[in-house]
Amino acid sequence: MTMSIYMKLLGSISVKNILIDLNILLDYYENARRKKYPDSIEAFDYLKYQNFAFVSSSSIDNFEFIKYATLSKAYPSLNRKQKLTIVHNFIKEFLTFFKIAKTPSYLEIDYDDIEDSQLIASAKAIDALVLTRDEKMLNKYPDMTISPKEFLKISKKQKPKIDFANLKKQHFRYYPEIEKSTDTVYNHSRFIMGPEIQELEENLCSFTKAKNAITCSSGTDALLLAMMTLDIKPGDEVITTPFTFIATAETIALLGAKPIFVDIDETTYNINPNRIEEKITSKTRGIISVSLYGQPSNLDEINAIAKKHNLFHIIDGAQSFGANYKGKAEVHHCDIYTTSFFPAKPLGCYGDGGAVLTNNDELAQKIRMLRVHGQNKRYSHKYIGLGARLDTIQAAILNVKLNHYKEDFAKRNEVAKRYTELLQNKEDIILPTIKSDRTTPWAQYSIRIKNRDEVQTKLKEAGIPTAVHYPKPLHLQECFAYLGNKEGDFPVAERISQEIMSLPMNPDLSESEIVYIAKRI
Ligand SMILES: Cc1ncc(COP(=O)(O)O)c(C=O)c1O
């Protein structure tokens, strides 16, 4: 085995895209060549149904030219229009299977073979191997090419290489649309508060039916904006869960207020409403519930308590975008809903991002000002605020992804359903419970298991990545030692943090990968 084949096997071709060379396209669309090169046909047919195959834009006009010439020779009686129609129908067909890879502007032309250097540059731009029969190219670029024979050999005996969130696959699924929308931003160059921001805010409103959506720089800043809008200040107390990402409580503390923890519910892992009232004092200003792993908390119960004690209710929906509670998005069940577009979140961008949603116009107006340094008009500052805008480029990406989010949401639910079917009735495993009056985007599919560390190690050996959300509840974190909580204060959160383990979750997990994971568990 040559070194290059070995490297490709190690790297597993499923994580690489494939750029199909012109000779393979021609093999496929010509009877004589079909018979002579069956491997090309089999590889082409296999790739038709994958999402990672591309053709270079430079191959398309060459295909037209060569195919037209061979038709002219074989069928001299056809007129020009007839020949072009045949050729164009072939092109239309392969473009329904394969996406177009651009020739990037950083192309370094090799004048010994301009076409090959274009192809290699296109492959580099999309992290692909060139599928080719061209011996010269295979020899010249051994690490960038693969023959149909080698490709078939590897794809048949490939072991699943499972990715936890598989952001790369998602990117290439939407690649043409993302390229178009980001190119638009480069062309208008309004990188801050460009038109894509308003477009996204309108899209977020129509998706959730919220009255207002204000995008911002992260889920953490969304929480800060929400609490600053509600005038949280030193001396205030804000009730929340200890079983969440640090940002929920960190932002309370950052504003000088005191996070007051309440233990979680044993089945949803969200704040237990039955334990909230005992923590309310004259200093309590509000409650932040967290929709952990995507599932909303018992919102009716929390709202009843908030109403009775005149408290605000913020939902930290960093993990739950798209979830419903009793048929409506969570923004309709609180004063302010915040979310995160961190890349690995169910709706993620390509860096940091977040949003604040509310049906209260007055709060929305203040959030908008706080997002831009408390500014009510240019260089006039009503409040002390933040520089917490979302970048236009991230909004452009999110507009594309939000447009497909219903499909992604459904696919994530399908993956969760399969995990549940395959893992139920297994001893020693507690599966997630989603209450029937709510939905979830499954930010995580987290199971509970007693010998977690051992299982994680074994799964890792089998190529299955796992994660723990979260290994230490917030009341036991060093930064919150000053609050005076101790081990044993929140026993449910403490126990679950010892047992919880998240499985790979993304809309691109295949049935065979899910079965493989479930079997190994
Ligand atoms: C529950 C929760 N809150 C807040 C955040 C913070 O979001 P971001 O990372 O976008 O600042 C996260 C992100 O991990 C989260 O999971």
- Say if residue 419's pLDDT is above 90: yes
Is the shortest distance between the CB of 349 and ligand 1 below 6 Å?
A: no
Which of these, 504, 179, 205, lies nearest to 344 by C-alpha position? 504
| CATH for 406-520, options being 3.40.50.300, 3.90.1150.10, 1.10.1740.10, 3.60.15.10 | 3.90.1150.10
Residue ranges per domain, the chain? Answer: 3-158, 175-403, 406-520
C-alpha span between 432 and 319 (Å, rounded) = 15
pLDDT of 308 > 70? The answer is yes
Mean pLDDT of 5-12: 44
Domains 3-158 and 175-403 agree in fold: no
Q: What percent of the chain has pLDDT over 70?
A: 97
CATH of 3-158 given 3.90.550.10, 3.30.200.20, 3.30.479.10, 3.40.50.1010: 3.40.50.1010
State the chain's mean pLDDT as an integer: 95
Tens-digit pLDDT profile for residues 82-109: 999 999 999 999 999 999 999 999 999 9
Compute the distance between CA of residue 405 and CA of residue 205 in angstroms, rounded to an integer: 14
pLDDT of residue 11: 45
Q: Which atom of ligand 1 is nearest to the CA of 341?
A: 10
Residue 7 scores a pLDDT above 50: no
Our answer on whether the CB atom of 318 is closer than 6 Å to any ligand 1 atom is: yes
Choosing from 269, 289, 319 the residue with most ligand 1 atoms within 8 A of its CB, the one to mutate for a pocket test is 319
What are the CA-CA distances from residue 361 to residues 269, 335, 354 (Å)? 32, 11, 19
- The total number of residues shown for the chain amounts to 521
**Averaged over 64-79, what is the pLDDT?**
96
> pLDDT tier at 159 (50, 70, 90 boundaries)?
low
State the DSSP H helix or E strand holding residue 47, giving kind and residue range, or none if neither.
helix 38-48
Q: How far is CA 148 from the centre of its chain?
A: 32
> Is this model's pTM higher than 0.85 or not?
yes
Check: CB of residue 263 under 8 Å from CB of residue 272.
yes
Instruction: Kindly tell me if the per-residue pLDDT of 437 is higher than 80.
Output: yes
Q: Which residue CA neighbors atom 10 of ligand 1 most closely?
A: 219
Predicted pLDDT of residue 296: 98
- Which pLDDT does position 157 carry in this prediction? 73
- 81 vs 154, which has greater pLDDT? 81
**pLDDT, position 2:** 43
Examine the pLDDT at 130 and tell me if it is beyond 50.
yes
**Per-residue pLDDT, 161:** 77
CA of 474 to the centre of ligand 1 (A): 14
Pick the CATH number of 175-403 from 3.30.70.260, 3.40.50.720, 3.40.50.300, 3.40.640.10: 3.40.640.10
What tokens appear for 182 in the block? 């980001």
pLDDT digits (tens, 9 = 90+) for 475-517: 999 999 999 999 999 999 999 999 999 999 999 999 999 999 9
Residues of the chain above pLDDT 90, percent: 94
For ligand 1, is residue 54 a contact (CB within 6 Å)? Answer: no
